[in-house]
Amino acid sequence: MEQNKKRLPLEGIKVVDLTRVLSGPFCTALLSDLGAEIIKIEPPAGDEYRHVGPFKAGESALFTLVNRNKKGAVADLKNEVDLSRVLEMARDADVFVENFKPGVADRLGVGYDAVRAINPDIVYASISGFGQTGESSQLPAYDLVVQAMSGMMGITGEPGGEPTMVGESIADLVAGLYGSWAILAALFDRHRTGQGVYLDIAMLDCLFSMMPTPVAQWMFSGKAPGRVGNRHPLSTPFGSFTAPDGRVIIAILNNRQFGALCDAMGRPEIAADPRFRSDEERTRHEPELRDLIESWLADHTVESAIKALSDARIPASPVLEMGDALIRARTGERQLLLTQCHPRLGDIPMMVQPVRASAWATSAPKIAPQLGEHNDELFG
């Protein structure tokens, strides 16, 4: 390879992917973005996400997004011939990923022991809702269930209102992200030690680990936090504020920023008010401070308020609707969506991995496979 030619860091890594729906496919999609060869094995009926809309020309948008860059084959693991084909494929693989309900992979003959018997160096990852062991391991693991059990719903929503789910399948996605991270760490460890490893990745564990703020609130006080709406539970003013034509996000973390905010509002004396002299005091008197800020915003549009705050180097932003965020993702300099030419759908926007690296190649993702598209190539 030429010295200056850009590369993909996982080129040459082979992954056998027996996952479906979201957590597992998202995990392997992230690996595929970095150049790994992903061989997606589906049952004859296909991944459930093939049958979940929205659809266009019979193609699922969700399936297309999270199964980019993969090769696809169909195998009935209850059929001895198909099972032997999958195990043979695992013989020279680097990684094996499954997200069956705990115990199912073993019963089907593709559990860790079966795969390790033919490939002792394999990195084997199992993604499940609640882990491979314990009293909750056999519970159904839908994202909403995990959000509810993690406590995340309990701290999301308005004070006194109902617990609220995050507006995306965050438990699935976080488990997939942690899964890809753990697989990369395991590959690095294998390079040093020559040993494979088994990875037990639980959606609940992963989602809980994403909540250091409520843990910090509880850690010294012993009191579990509740819902605080669209503001930060520990810092003030840090949240969403009302302007005549929309909402403005203001994020203040220290006294210097607060002083700059008071100056920008034309009210420098507020910074010396005993109620607002520290972050702790500002949080204690949040309603009074909110009234002062929204009185200032009453004479501004969202645009003019953002300009005044930005000129004062205060972290601030509008609250974008998803349509506006999608336009920015597609047309912005960071190129979070790239155009892919689909043989049946034409040009479609596709998500890409967001990390930029000086020596890594970036290209439009390849289309998700048709059901069994690569059977001949992979099984001969």
Q: What is the CATH number of the domain that holds 313?
A: 3.30.1540.10
Q: What is the pLDDT of residue 140?
A: 85
For residue 224, being part of any structural domain is answered with: no
**68: Cβ contacts below 8 Å, ≥ 6 apart:** 29, 32, 33, 340, 350, 351, 365, 366, 367, 368
Token pair of 310 as six digits: 């930005």
Q: Check which CATH number belongs to the domain holding 63 and give it.
A: 3.40.50.10540
314 and 349 co-located in one domain: no
138 and 268 co-located in one domain: no
269 and 136 co-located in one domain: no
For residue 327, being part of any structural domain is answered with: no
Q: Which helix (H) or strand (E) holds 295?
A: helix 286-297
Q: Which amino acid is at 51?
A: H
Kindly report, residue by residue over 334-366, the tens digit of the pLDDT: 889 998 889 888 999 999 889 989 998 877 789
282 class by beta-carbon count within 10 Å (0-12 exposed, 13-18 middle, 19+ buried): buried
Annotated catalytic residue within 232, 285, 342, 374: 232
For residue 221, being part of any structural domain is answered with: no
Q: What is the pLDDT of residue 37?
A: 97
Q: Which strand ranges, in their side-by-side order, compose the sheet holding 123-128?
A: 70-74, 37-42, 14-18, 95-98, 123-128, 197-202
93 and 188 co-located in one domain: yes
Residue 146 has a CB neighbour count (10 Å cut-off) of 28
DSSP 298-317: TTS-HHHHHHHHHHTT--EE
For residue 197, being part of any structural domain is answered with: yes
For residue 297, being part of any structural domain is answered with: yes
281 and 193 co-located in one domain: no
296 and 369 co-located in one domain: no
311 and 363 co-located in one domain: no
Q: What is the pLDDT of residue 343?
A: 87
| Torsion angles phi and psi, residue 151, rounded to 5 | 95, -10
285 and 373 co-located in one domain: no
Active site residue 191: no
CA distance 103 to 114: 13
Token pair of 148 as six digits: 């509810």
Radius of gyration of the chain (CA): 25
Token pair of 29 as six digits: 């999609």
Domain boundary at 321, 350, 366, which? 321
Q: What is the pLDDT of residue 4?
A: 55
CA distance 65 to 70: 11
52 and 174 co-located in one domain: yes
Give me the number of domains the chain comprises: 2
181 and 96 co-located in one domain: yes
Domain boundary at 321, 344, 359, which? 321
342 and 193 co-located in one domain: yes
For residue 42, being part of any structural domain is answered with: yes
Residues spanned by the domain of 154: 14-210+333-379
Residues of the chain with confidence (pLDDT) below 50? 1-3
Of residues 57, 30, 5, 65, the one with CA closest to residue 351: 65
Q: What percent of the chain has pLDDT over 90?
A: 89
Enumerate long-range contacts of 353-357, CB under 8 Å, 24 or more apart: 353/30, 353/33, 353/34, 357/9
Q: Which amino acid is at 314?
A: I
177 and 266 co-located in one domain: no
For residue 112, being part of any structural domain is answered with: yes
- Cα–Cα distances in Å, from 61 out to 49, 67, 175, 207? 9, 10, 21, 25
For residue 215, being part of any structural domain is answered with: no
Domain boundary at 280, 298, 321, which? 321
Does the global pTM surpass 0.85? yes
